[in-house]
Amino acid sequence: MNGFLNVLKPTGMTSHDVVQVLRRMLGEKKIGHTGTLDPMAAGVLPAGIGSATRITEYLDNDYKKYRCEMILGIRSETGDIWGKDLKRQEVPDISGEELREIEQVFRGEIEQVPPMYSAVRVAGRRLYEYARSGEEVAVKARKVTIREMKILRFEKDRILFDVECSKGTYVRTICTEIGERLGCGGAMSFLARTASGAFTMENARTFEEIQELLDRGLPKEELLLPVDFPLGNYRKAVLGEAVAKTFINGGHIRLTQADIDLSEEEKYYRVYRGDEFIAMATVDERMKKLIPHKVFYRDR
């Protein structure tokens, strides 16, 4: 089995739990997830199976979409309502203009300090390990990109918003910063990832749906999205049969031997033998050659 199964993760499970359940359901060992979701979060969690587990590094630039609810008037240790309360206070009157300003402030490239209760490593240890032991450690701000922020609803002390952001963005931290900007604190109370690159709610499946399809006798392979499903942002190179044989065995081929769009420079290209996805490649502009970066299929 080679491909992706886009799981609609329920709350209360770790991303590792999802992988373990899929291994039991499908009878496959080689399964890994892309883009960890915290246990309290729900939503899209793509799982790579077989050769698809090797795709992850090409998905770093994919944007994620989330729907989040936050509660104002709370400051918590973890930035969400599941952590220890540090302070509670009254929520002031908030105007529509202030909410529109928030939408503009949290847009574009911003600097964000990862929360102490996160898996980011500093000096070889994860931040949550420092936090749990009561140790203080300096954490550097990181640049992340918010493509869009839209407030959907505001009622008394609750804000519901959608955000589209780059890898490494902490939505909990956005909630904390919104609360500070409004002068009363804020903590995340609900989070669902609605998209991760090409993986969306529309092509996700629940565990119950997966099991039902298997019980009906659907072949396991038909549950999967193709290995190249999330790679649509990369330009395509198509090879003929003879050239493809040389390429998948490690050979560098001349650009003139490939049907390839070189109108814009790319770091990687997806390579096909006819309609069959076989590899990811780089281009050596000086030598005018297509070079294998990672081969997914060998000779038939």
CA distances 254 to 137, 211, 247, 264, Å, are 51, 47, 10, 18
Q: Are 167 and 193 in contact (CB under 8 A)?
A: no
As a whole number of angstroms, the distance between CA 8 and CA 168 comes to: 20
Say how far apart CA 108 and CA 146 lie, in whole Å.
5
What residues form DSSP beta bridges with 192?
42, 67
∠ Cα 138 144 149 (to 5°): 125
Tell me the CB-side half-sphere exposure of residue 150, using CA atoms within 13 A.
8
Q: What is the DSSP string of 205-251?
A: B-HHHHHHHHHTT--GGGGPBPTTGGGTTS-EEEE-HHHHHHHHTT-
> Would you give per-residue pLDDT tens digits along the chain (300 residues)?
899 999 999 999 999 999 999 999 999 999 999 988 989 999 999 999 999 999 999 998 899 999 999 999 999 999 999 988 888 999 999 999 999 999 999 999 999 988 777 777 887 888 778 878 888 888 888 999 999 999 999 998 999 999 999 999 999 999 999 999 999 999 999 999 999 999 999 999 999 999 999 999 999 999 999 999 999 999 999 999 999 999 999 999 999 999 998 888 889 999 999 999 999 999 998 889 999 999 998 665
Q: What is the pLDDT of residue 119?
A: 74
Three-state secondary-structure class, residue 40: coil
Which residues, at least 6 apart from 269, have a Cβ–Cβ distance to it below 8 Å? 234, 235, 236, 237, 260, 280, 281, 282, 283, 290
The DSSP call for residue 77 is S
Q: For residues 206 and 6, what is the distance between their CA atoms, to the nearest angstrom?
A: 9
Distance CA 235, CA 229 (A): 13
The two tokens of residue 198 are: 């090409």
Catalytic residues: 38
Domains with residue ranges and CATH for the chain: 3-61+198-229 (3.30.2350.10), 64-196 (3.30.2350.10), 234-295 (2.30.130.10)
Q: Which amino acid is at 262?
A: L
Would you give the DSSP letter of residue 231?
Answer: G
Token pair of 202, please? 């529309």
Tokens at 286, concatenated: 């000086």
